Amino acid sequence: MSESKKLPDYTNQPSEWYTQIIKEAELADIRYGVKGCLVFQPWSVEAMELMYDFLEKDLKKRGHKNYWYPTLIPESYFYKEAEHIQGFSPEVFWVEKGGDDKLEERLALRPTSETAFYTMFSLWIRSYKDLPFRTYQRANVFRYESKATRPFLRSREFHWIETHCAFATQEEAFQNVMDDMESTKRVVFGIYGVPTIVFERPAWDKFAGAHRTFGADAFTPSGRVVQQPSTHMINQHFVESFGVKYTDKDELEKTPWTTCYGPAISRIFASVVLTHGDNKGLKFPFEIAPKQVIIVPIMMEKEPKVLVKAKEIYNKLESAGYRVEIDVTDKRPGEKYYYWEMKGVPLRIEVGPRDLAENKLMLYRRDTEAKITIDEKDLISEVAKNGKELSASLKAKASSDFEGLIKDVNSISEVKKIVGKGIARANFCSVEREGESCAEIIEKETGGKIRGTRIDVEEKLIGEGKCVVCGKKATKVVYIAKDY
Ligand SMILES: [Zn+2]
């Protein structure tokens, strides 16, 4: 068996492992000629298409309608909201010419589309009967990143869903923000198997133009943060700048409350890769695997019957709705096993001459590495059962790995010891602007960032209840970790 291209160790060299698996599993090619932009290859695109489907179904169930907006946004739209343009302007790509003609107005390649949506909201929203107004689009966005780029994790063009919604009351808007975080848990953990913690971000880390920002964070097994979807309470000042108004039941003209939510599918995909991987390569949950079953015929050259049977099995699985492939390359069986295990295919079915005589098949599970002999007549039910079990076991393992990463700390030196390996949980003086200087000290001395305060659990202060940096009375428990 040839295992020539061995991957770096997943636990001890996660960064090298990540770089290598992207190449080996053909997830993306980074050799395209625009810095920070990459070519996504079929193996990642197919998984991300499936991931998009689950998210979009969830949003549609909650009443979101889908739109396709132009990629170009006029500069004047951006300048309507001062805080927003201030936050985004260093990251905007500008289009200044059309052919040889200088454009009358510069056009931005959308870095996010609030300004585009709100411009149209001002034309569409007229009456209280138009509310709530829930929209989304699936789109690629562009950001001129100055930090080092990393495939799927941080790039200058990425793929996401952005939702933009308007409500009559602040309470409804807030409820929508909380529902966004529930969607995140339902889909990102429930289907993709990636555990997250939901934080409210500190005042200095809010989305440009937002009143409050909530974000889910996932963590790699080595304790690094991979930021997951964020959702924002925009309040009213933003839409006020765009003249979005409606006539209420009492005939008075009012301003709606808006929210937005941005699950970046390419970054969530990075978390799927990092959360479930191992020394052999990728492991896909059954629901989002580009191929769910790989069929490997054994000795197909000597025994033509084997290939006939393999095709029969393929047809059965395909017509039952499974994503399946037969490996008919001239590689040896061992090489085929190695290759598809590396690609993260959940189940493998081996068809050999001996099993054939007995109407048996060999089924291999990528998660447990168990080989199970099954009766051919039970093929469909065994695939369904093992697929389901595999997803559940990936989730359970990810959850237990995740819980082990969080450690309570009482001093900056303890923070330093934890971050990079895990997540430090610490008392903190304030997550409003006055706490920013303590956050800066943490970042400077430990490389860790304050991710925020948890909103899904009640938290008690640790020990004597003093800020881990300045020693003043703490008001919050925060989580500190290094990001990518
Ligand atoms: Zn402090």
Average pLDDT over residues 153-169: 96
442 CA to centre of ligand 1 in angstroms: 10
Looking at residue 2, its pLDDT comes to 43
Looking at residue 301, its pLDDT comes to 76
Q: From 146, 143, 388, select the one nearest 266 (Cα to Cα).
A: 143
453 CA to centre of ligand 1 in angstroms: 15
232 CA to centre of ligand 1 in angstroms: 26
Task: Classify residue 130 as exposed, middle or buried by CB count within 10 Å of its CB (0-12, 13-18, 19+).
Answer: middle
209, pLDDT greater than 80: no
The two three-digit tokens of residue 24, written as one number: 């080996």
418 CA to centre of ligand 1 in angstroms: 19
Helix (H, G, I), strand (E, B) or coil at 227: strand
467 CA to centre of ligand 1 in angstroms: 5
146 CA to centre of ligand 1 in angstroms: 29
434 CA to centre of ligand 1 in angstroms: 8
Higher local confidence (pLDDT), 422 or 166:
166
Answer for the pair 261, 379: CB distance below 8 angstroms, yes or no: no
Average pLDDT over residues 195-206: 92
4, pLDDT greater than 60: no
In the chain, DSSP finds a helix count (H) and a strand count (E) of 14, 23
457 CA to centre of ligand 1 in angstroms: 22
Which of 34-43, 85-94, 346-355, 432-441 has the weakest average pLDDT? 85-94
430 CA to centre of ligand 1 in angstroms: 7
410 CA to centre of ligand 1 in angstroms: 12
409 CA to centre of ligand 1 in angstroms: 14
381 CA to centre of ligand 1 in angstroms: 58
CA distance 70 to 193: 33
472 CA to centre of ligand 1 in angstroms: 6
427 CA to centre of ligand 1 in angstroms: 9
The two three-digit tokens of residue 148, written as one number: 């080092």
Average pLDDT over residues 402-411: 91
CA distance 348 to 362: 8
461 CA to centre of ligand 1 in angstroms: 14
- Say how many residues make up the chain: 484
CA distance 92 to 109: 7
Query: How many C-beta atoms surround the C-beta of residue 120 within 10 A?
Result: 15
Average pLDDT over residues 277-294: 98
Burial 460-472 (b: 16+ CB within 10 A, else e): eebeeebbbbeee
- Spatial neighbors of 172 by CB under 8 A, at least 6 apart, are 132, 257
202 CA to centre of ligand 1 in angstroms: 13
Query: How many C-beta atoms surround the C-beta of residue 404 within 10 A?
Result: 11
Higher local confidence (pLDDT), 47 or 420:
47
The two three-digit tokens of residue 342, written as one number: 């590396």
470 CA to centre of ligand 1 in angstroms: 4
184 CA to centre of ligand 1 in angstroms: 31
439 CA to centre of ligand 1 in angstroms: 8
CA distance 416 to 480: 10
